Structures are given as C-alpha cells and as structure tokens.
Amino acid sequence: VATFRVLESLPRSAQVVIVGGGIVGAATAFFARRAGLSPLIIEARPALSTLTTPASTGAFRLQFDNPEEIALVREGIELFASFAEITGLAGLDIGMRVQGYLFCTTTESGAVRQREWVRAQHEWGVHDVEILSGDEARYRFPHISRDVVQARFRAGDGFLKPKRVALGLAAASRAGICLETLVTGFEVSGGVVKTVHTNRGSISCEHVVDAAGPFSGKLAAMAGLDIDVRPRRRMKLTMPDVPEVPAHAPMTIDEETVAHWRPGMNGAYALFTDPSTPVADPEWNVRPDSQFAFDLLSPASERSLARISPFWAELAERGEPDWLLHAGQYEYTADHRPMLGPSAIPNFHLNCGYSGHGIMGSPGGARVVVDQIVGRLKPRDNPFDPNRAMVERPFDIL
Ligand SMILES: Cc1cc2nc3c(=O)[nH]c(=O)nc-3n(C[C@H](O)[C@H](O)[C@H](O)COP(=O)(O)OP(=O)(O)OC[C@H]3O[C@@H](n4cnc5c(N)ncnc54)[C@H](O)[C@@H]3O)c2cc1C
C-alpha cells in the first residue's frame, strides 16, 4: 500500500530538506506536506527506516511523569489509532495492539511511589491509569508472580509495528526521497543555511530539519552547531516462537529492575535499560552483546524476566527459547526530552533527542517542528524548545 517517490537524481533545490529517513524524518515530511510545504528526505542508507526505528519495540504509553510528554505522545496515539484514514492509505495495517502497560512492583516503597505517580497522572488528565493490588493484577493477568504487591495499569497503552508507521508516513507525505545519499556538510552564510552538501551533489534549500537520530549531533556539528545529544546502545531480545507467552498480555514491566517484555511475533520481545551503558559515538552498525539475553532469561539473574512473570523460569529450565538480538542507540538529551524546533541557526531545525521515545513521540514532535517552520508556534510556547535550560535528569525506568 505504501509506495514512495524515490528520486533517481538529486534535485538542485528543495523547500524543506529533511536529513534522515527513520520514523522521525518520515513524520516530519508528513506534517510538512500537511502544512503546505514541499519536503525532500535525504537518507544515507539504501532503504528507509533501517537504523534505530526497526530496532525498537514499537511501544507507546501515556504513563509519563510530566504533562508535556503526555500531551506529545497523546498526539501520536491519536494518529496511530486512525492511521489509514488520516494518511489516506486505505487498508494499511500498522499492527496496533492496544493491550496496555502493566508496571509491577514487588516492594512497599515501590507501591507508594506508584500511587504518587498515578495521582499526578490523574491530575494531568490521564484518568484511566489504574492502581491494581497484587491479587487484582494476578486475577486480570495470571502470568504475574505472587511477589508482585501492586501494579499500575493503563489499558489504552500498547504497541505497533514502527517500520510500517514510518513507511506509511513517508508514502503519505509524497516527499521526494533520495536514498544512498550521505549529507556531508552545509553552506551557512549570513547566519542561515543556504546549501546542503551530499556525496551526490548539493541542494539549495529554505529549511533543513535534522532528523538523523543518533547522528543528529554529528549532523548539527557540520553546520557549526554544538548540541548535546548522547547516543547509548540499547538492545532488544526477540524470541520469535514461544507458545507459552500469553498473546494478549500487556507490556509487563518490573519497576525495580526495569526489565520488561511484551508479546510479539509468536513469542515476545524483552528489554531493559541499563543506566550504566556508556555514551558512545553514533554507529551505522550497532553490535549487540549476548550477555543481554542471559541477563533477561536466566532465573538466577537479578534482571530475570521470571522475577515478575514466573513462566519465563519454566522455559529456561527446559532450555531457553530460540532468540536473537537487535541493537540500536537511544539519543539522550540531558533532560531526556526531545529537541524540537529552530537551533541557533534559525532555518536549521532540530527534530531529535527523543531519548528512547521516538516512535510514540514522532508524530507530536514532527507537528511541533513544522508548526514552528510555518510560524504557527513560537519557541516560547514550546516546552521542547532546543534552546531551553535543561536540568540533568536521572534515568527513569524506560
Ligand atoms: C532497543 C530499542 C527499543 C526502543 N523501543 C522504543 C519503544 O518501544 N517506543 C518508542 O517510542 N521508542 C523506542 N525506541 C526509540 C526509537 O526507536 C527511536 O527514538 C526512533 O527510532 C528514532 O527515530 P529516528 O528517525 O530519529 O532515528 P533513525 O531511525 O535512526 O533514523 C535516522 C536516519 O538518519 C540517517 N542519517 C544519519 N546521518 C545521516 C546523514 N549524514 N546523511 C543522511 N542520512 C543520515 C540514518 O541512516 C537513519 O536512517 C527504542 C530504541 C531502541 C534502540
């Protein structure tokens, strides 16, 4: 259903040059077209959406700890829920499964913290987050361990196929797309970007959007900008065939260890976010580490999935399921919120720094960037203004 306008040769000029053909670049192109602009996507690799976007778990949630990110992701969920209608791509199935996010705690202090969070979320308008006692959680979700004392749950959270969304947005944007085209520099004169240089030639432009994911800092540096984006490796364990996984289970998260899993394919995807992972250079091929799989699957591991979902221990006893690993990089900002809008160069716009939330955040984020390009939104009214004062944020759980 999703067909793109791949260009054989590089155009000489373009109104909005979007660097990066992942989900963020595709969403930018989609909202740019809706705002009456003419977008061009430049992608270094031979195909769209092949770096970070397909490494993700494709999950979305409104269970955040601040109202701004809730509002941003809410826009995305609204788009996902009516994707085929809004994009005009009749019949396109983005694999959306609204099965909820279940955060489980095994400690009393965790239970207190959960209740505080949920109270705040209700105040911010997310009224449908529930607190479940351990027994209520087990009644609804029999895979939950007896050690879970409480859970918070929102039935409207869920997951989808991120690559389908990205390709759908790129197609619906009717953007020209240049593949195997590496942006190598910019001509900045009179304080604005005039030209984008690539390995295939140069393009003069009115606006540039940096949607280069983990490479966004490097790309900005080519224009002389110093932005604080810190790539860190994140991995995903895929177990494609595990019949024991309850297919209708929610994203199931251990609040204490940050290990989490969700049904996917005929099995599950499992992850955890290790705060000790060092900041690294951006990479075109991110190599996974098999220790990640053992940490999640071994019942003896402190990050074992079996801590809150005991069926994983039974599986491990019979020999671990077949698995494979995928790796990508989160691009963290200091406050773990994206940078959306004009940089110190007014026509060089940032759409990056999603800090691990770029699937769910990309529609709202792209809309915010485009609204600033067309003057519908002022940086002072934008909580994600790249020039904001950032407060260093400790690692939250996902
Ligand atoms: C293991 C893992 C799990 C995740 N799970 C989730 C989740 O459940 N939910 C969620 O919301 N988010 C999740 N994320 C985060 C999400 O995947 C990212 O935030 C999102 O994919 C970022 O999209 P992007 O388009 O910015 O980056 P990318 O997909 O990396 O796209 C950037 C593109 O820019 C191109 N590029 C870079 N430099 C240049 C250049 N100089 N010239 C031309 N092209 C260039 C690259 O080739 C690449 O295709 C996860 C991430 C990982 C790694």
Helix H, strand E, coil C: the string for 164-181 is HHHHHHHHHHCCEEECCC
Task: Please list the residues that pair with 93 across neighbouring strands.
Answer: none
Token pair of 168 as six digits: 């759908």
pLDDT at 72: 98
Q: How far apart are CA 253 and CA 99, in angstroms?
A: 13
Residue 395 has pLDDT above 90, yes or no: no
Return the number of other C-beta atoms located less than 10 Å from residue 279's C-beta: 11
Categorize the per-residue pLDDT at 397 as very low, low, confident or very high, splitting at 50, 70 and 90: low
pLDDT at 398: 60
Categorize the per-residue pLDDT at 284 as very low, low, confident or very high, splitting at 50, 70 and 90: very high
Tell me: the pLDDT tens digits for 352-373? 999 999 999 999 999 999 999 9
pLDDT at 396: 62
Q: Are strands 176-178 and 5-6 parallel, antiparallel or unpaired?
A: parallel
pTM value is: 0.98
One-letter-per-residue 3-state SS of 10-65:
CCCEEEEEEECCCHHHHHHHHHHHHCCCCEEEECCCCCCCCCCHHHCCCEECCCCC
**Which residue lies with its CA nearest to atom 37 of ligand 1?**
212
What is the Å distance from ligand 1's center to 110 Cα? Answer: 31
Ligand 1 binding pocket, CB closer than 6 Å: 19-25, 42-45, 50-53, 55-59, 182-183, 211-215, 219, 234-236, 271, 328, 330, 354, 356-360
Which among 57, 144, 121, 49 has a CA at the least distance from the CA of 95? 57
Tell me: the pLDDT tens digits for 110-155? 999 999 999 999 999 999 999 999 999 999 999 999 999 999 999 9
pLDDT at 379: 92
Substitution site in 31, 52, 199 for ligand 1 pocket (most atoms within 8 Å of beta carbon)? 52
Tell me: the pLDDT tens digits for 327-350? 999 999 999 999 999 999 999 999
Residue 1 has pLDDT above 60, yes or no: no
Task: Please list the residues that pair with 16 across neighbouring strands.
Answer: 39, 207
Tell me: the pLDDT tens digits for 252-283? 999 999 999 999 999 999 999 888 899 999 99
Substitution site in 186, 215, 284, 332 for ligand 1 pocket (most atoms within 8 Å of beta carbon)? 215
Q: pLDDT: is 107 or 2 the higher one?
A: 107
Half-sphere exposure of 285 (CA within 13 A, CB side): 0
What is the Å distance from ligand 1's center to 300 Cα? Answer: 33
What is the Å distance from ligand 1's center to 186 Cα? Answer: 22
Q: How far apart are CA 303 and CA 270, in angstroms?
A: 11
Within its chain, how far is the Cα of 108 from the centroid?
31
Tell me: the pLDDT tens digits for 306-328? 999 999 999 988 887 899 999 99
Average predicted confidence (pLDDT) for the chain: 96
**Which residue lies with its CA nearest to atom 5 of ligand 1?**
56
Q: How far apart are CA 36 and CA 40, in angstroms?
A: 13
